[in-house]
Amino acid sequence: MIAALLGIFGLSLLLAICVGRTHPRIWLGLNSITALSGLYAALLVLITTQPWLWHGGFLLGGETPFLRLDGISALFLVLVCLVGGLGALYAHEYWSEHHYPRSAPNGRCWWSALTLSMGLVLTCANGLHFLFAWEAFALCAYFLITLDHDNKEARKAGWLYLAASHAGTMALFAFFSALAARTGTWELGPVHAQAGLAPLFWLVLFGFGVKAGMFPLHIWLPSAHANAPSHVSAIMSAVAIKMGVYGIVRFSGWLPMPDNAGWVLLGFGCASALLGIAFALAQNDIKRLLAYCSVENVGIILIGLGLSVLAVQHGQPVWGKAALAGTFLHVLNHGLFKSLLFFGAGSVLHATGTRDMSRLGGLWKVMPWTAGLFAVGALAVSGLPPLNGFVGEWAIYQGLLRAVAQKGPAVGVLPAVIVLAGAGALALAAFAKAVGIVFLGAPRSKPAANAVECGGLMGTPMFLLVTIMIAIGLLPGLFFRPIMGVVAIWAPQWAMADPLLATRTLGGTHTLLLCALLAGGFLMLRKIRNNGTRPGLTWDCGYVAPTAHMQYSSGSFAGIARGWFFWLLRPEMAIQRVRGIFPGKARVLERIPETVLEKIIGPGVQAISFAANGAKRMQHGRLHLYILYVFLGVTALGLMVLMGGI
Amino acid sequence: MNPYLLIIIPLIGALLAALWPYKKSRPYFLPAVGLAHTALCFRLLAKPPAVDPVAWLAFDPLASAILPGVSLLFLICGCYAVSFLRLKEQDNRVFVPALLLVLGLLSAGHQARHLGILWIATEAVTLACVPLIHFSGTPKSFEATWKYLLVGGTGIALSLLGSICLGYASLHGGGSGDITFAALLEHGPNLSRVWVLTAWVLLLVGYGTKMGLAPMHTWKPDAYGESPGIVGALLAGGVTSVAFVALLRIKSVVDAAGEGVVASRTLLAIGLFSTLVAALFLLRTRDFKRMLAYSSVEHMGILCIATSFGGAGVWAALFHVWNNGLTKGALFLSAGNLQRAANSSSIDNVRGMSKVLPRTSILFVVGMFAITACPPFGPFFSELLIVRTGLGAGHGWAIGLFLLCLLLAFFGISRIVFAVVDGRPRLYKSNPALRKESAGLILPPLILLAASLWLGLFTPDILRDAWSAAVLQLSPMP
Amino acid sequence: MNDTLNLLIGLAMGFNLLALGTSRLPVLIRAVAIQGVLLGLLPLVLEAHALDWHLVLITLATVAGKGVLIPFMLTRAMRAAGIARELEPFIGYIPSLLLGAAGTIAAVAVTRYLPLLPEHAGNLHVPGAMALILTGFILLIGRTKAISQVCGYLVLENGIYLAGLLLIGSTPILVEFGILLDVTVGIFVIGIIVDRIQRAFDSLDTRKLTALHE
Amino acid sequence: MPLFIDIALRLLCWLLLAPLLPGVINKVKAWVAGRQGPPVLQLYYDLARLWRKGVVMSSLASPGFIIAPAVAWTAVVTAALLLPLAGAGTAFSFDGDVLLLVYLLALARFCTAWGAMETGSAFEGMGAAREVSFAVLAEIGIITAILTLVVQSGSIALSSMFEPLSGPGAALLAVGLFIILLAENCRVPFDDPNTHLELTMIHEVMVLDHSGPPLAMILHGAAVKLMLFSVFLAQAVLPLSELPLLASVSVLALSVLLVTVAVGLVESLTARLAFKRVPLLLTIGFLFCLFPLLLTWMGDL
The per-residue pLDDT for A500 is 86
Quick check: B225 contacting C, CB < 8 Å? yes
Report pLDDT digits (tens) over D145-179: 999 999 999 899 999 999 888 788 899 999 999 99
B117: chain C residues, CB-CB within 8 Å? 175, 178
Give buried/exposed letters for B210-249 (b at 16+ CB in 10 A, else e). bbbbbbbbbbbbbbbbbbbbbbbbbbbbbbbbbbbbbbbb
Measure B467 CA to nearest chain A CA, in Å. 14
Give buried/exposed letters for D248-260 (b at 16+ CB in 10 A, else e). bbebbbebbeebb
3-state secondary structure of D89: coil
Taking an 8 Å cut-off on Cβ atoms, the answer to whether A620 and C210 are in contact is yes
- Residue D296 — very low, low, confident or very high, per pLDDT cuts 50/70/90? confident
Q: Which of A516, A521, A561 sits opposite D136 (nearest CB)?
A: A561
Is residue A571 scored above 90 in pLDDT? no
Q: Which of A128, A170, A637 sits opposite B403 (nearest CB)?
A: A170
Which of A619, A628, A632, A635 to mutate to probe the B interface, most B CBs <10 Å? A619
Q: Which residue of B has its CA nearest to C196?
A: B142
Quick check: B117 contacting C, CB < 8 Å? yes
Residue A395 in contact with residue A322, Cβ under 8 Å? yes
Best CA proximity match to A265, nearest among A121, A391, A273, A314: A273
Mean pLDDT of D136-140: 95
B380: chain A residues, CB-CB within 8 Å? 131-132, 135
- Following CA atoms A170, A176, A178, A182 in sequence, which dihedral angle do they give, to the nearest 10 degrees? 180
The per-residue pLDDT for D200 is 64
Residue A382 in contact with residue A270, Cβ under 8 Å? no
3-state secondary structure of A579: coil
Q: Which residue of C has its CA nearest to B145?
A: C193
Mean pLDDT of A76-86: 96
Q: Which of B120, B144, B149 sits opposite C182 (nearest CB)?
A: B120
Q: Which of A62, A609, A640 sits opposite B269 (nearest CB)?
A: A640
Taking an 8 Å cut-off on Cβ atoms, the answer to whether A560 and D130 are in contact is yes
Angle between helices C70-81 and C25-46 (to 10 degrees): 170
Q: Give me the residue spans of the domains in chain A.
A: 318-528+558-569, 595-644
Do A and D make contact via 3 or more CB pairs under 8 A? The reply is yes
Half-sphere exposure of B386 (CA within 13 A, CB side): 31
The per-residue pLDDT for D196 is 61
- Residue C43 — very low, low, confident or very high, per pLDDT cuts 50/70/90? confident
Which of B197, B254, B255, B385 to mutate to probe the A interface, most A CBs <10 Å? B197
Answer whether the bond into residue B215 is a cis peptide, omega within 30°: yes
3-state secondary structure of D48: helix
Best CA proximity match to B456, nearest among A186, A118, A63, A178: A63
A622: chain C residues, CB-CB within 8 Å? 206-207, 210
Q: Which residue of C has its CA nearest to A620?
A: C213
Taking an 8 Å cut-off on Cβ atoms, the answer to whether C179 and B222 are in contact is no
Is residue A508 scored above 90 in pLDDT? yes
Taking an 8 Å cut-off on Cβ atoms, the answer to whether A159 and B414 are in contact is yes
- Residue D271 — very low, low, confident or very high, per pLDDT cuts 50/70/90? confident
The per-residue pLDDT for A420 is 96
Report pLDDT digits (tens) over D228-258: 999 999 999 998 888 888 999 999 999 999 9
Which of D59, D71, D99, D297 to mutate to probe the A interface, most A CBs <10 Å? D99
Mean pLDDT of D253-279: 91
Report pLDDT digits (tens) over C61-119: 888 888 888 888 888 888 887 777 877 788 889 999 999 999 999 999 999 888 888 88
- Residue C147 — very low, low, confident or very high, per pLDDT cuts 50/70/90? confident
C141: chain A residues, CB-CB within 8 Å? 624-625, 627-628, 631
The per-residue pLDDT for A542 is 67
Chains interfacing with A (3 or more CB pairs < 8 Å): B, C, D
Contact map slice: C 69-108 vs B, CB within 8 A: none
Q: How far apart are CA A617 and CA A625, in angstroms?
A: 12
Taking an 8 Å cut-off on Cβ atoms, the answer to whether A622 and C207 are in contact is yes
Report pLDDT digits (tens) over A259-282: 999 999 999 999 999 999 999 999
Q: Other CB atoms closer than 10 Å to residue A418's CB: what's the count?
A: 21
Taking an 8 Å cut-off on Cβ atoms, the answer to whether A394 and D96 are in contact is yes
Taking an 8 Å cut-off on Cβ atoms, the answer to whether A398 and D66 are in contact is no
Q: Other CB atoms closer than 10 Å to residue A524's CB: what's the count?
A: 22
Query: What letter represents residue A82's amino acid?
Result: L
CA angle C180, C183, C186 (to 5 degrees): 150
Q: The complex's ipTM?
A: 0.93
Taking an 8 Å cut-off on Cβ atoms, the answer to whether B157 and C214 are in contact is no
For strands A66-69 and A533-536, give the pairing.
unpaired
Contact map slice: B 130-159 vs C, CB within 8 A: 130, 134, 139-140, 142-147, 149-150, 153-154, 157
Measure C210 CA to nearest chain A CA, in Å. 5
Residue B132 in contact with residue B98, Cβ under 8 Å? yes
Chains interfacing with D (3 or more CB pairs < 8 Å): A
Phi, psi of B302 (to 5 degrees): -60, -40
The model's pTM is 0.94
Is residue D301 scored above 60 in pLDDT? no
A642: chain C residues, CB-CB within 8 Å? none
Residue A344 in contact with residue A462, Cβ under 8 Å? yes
Chains interfacing with C (3 or more CB pairs < 8 Å): A, B
Mean pLDDT of chain D: 91
Quick check: D132 contacting A, CB < 8 Å? yes
Contact map slice: D 64-83 vs A, CB within 8 A: 64, 66-67, 69-71, 73-75, 78
The per-residue pLDDT for A224 is 96
- Residue D121 — very low, low, confident or very high, per pLDDT cuts 50/70/90? confident
Which of C114, C156, C193 to mutate to probe the B interface, most B CBs <10 Å? C193
| Residue A537 or B464, more confident | B464
Query: What letter represents residue A604's amino acid?
Result: G
Best CA proximity match to A222, nearest among A596, A576, A567: A596
Residue D134 in contact with residue D275, Cβ under 8 Å? no
The per-residue pLDDT for A544 is 67
Residue A159 in contact with residue B414, Cβ under 8 Å? yes
Residue B318 in contact with residue B66, Cβ under 8 Å? yes
Q: Which of C160, C194, C197 sits opposite B157 (nearest CB)?
A: C160
Mean pLDDT of A77-104: 94
Q: How far apart are CA B303 and CA B306, in angstroms?
A: 5
Do D and C make contact via 3 or more CB pairs under 8 A? The reply is no
Measure A70 CA to nearest chain C CA, in Å. 54
Report pLDDT digits (tens) over A27-42: 999 999 999 999 999 9
Do B and D make contact via 3 or more CB pairs under 8 A? The reply is no
Query: Which mean pLDDT values do the consecutive 10-residue runs of chain B (478 residues) have?
Result: 86 95 92 95 91 88 94 96 89 92 95 92 92 89 90 92 91 84 88 92 96 93 93 94 96 92 94 96 94 96 95 95 96 94 89 90 96 92 95 93 96 95 78 79 95 93 94 80
Taking an 8 Å cut-off on Cβ atoms, the answer to whether A632 and B456 are in contact is no
Is residue A497 scored above 80 in pLDDT? yes
Report pLDDT digits (tens) over D9-24: 999 999 999 999 999 9
CB burial of residue A26 (10 Å; 0-12, 13-18, 19+): middle
The per-residue pLDDT for A210 is 97
| Chain center to CA of B244 | 8
Report pLDDT digits (tens) over A437-452: 999 999 999 999 999 9
A132: chain B residues, CB-CB within 8 Å? 375-376, 380
The per-residue pLDDT for A205 is 97
Measure D161 CA to nearest chain A CA, in Å. 11
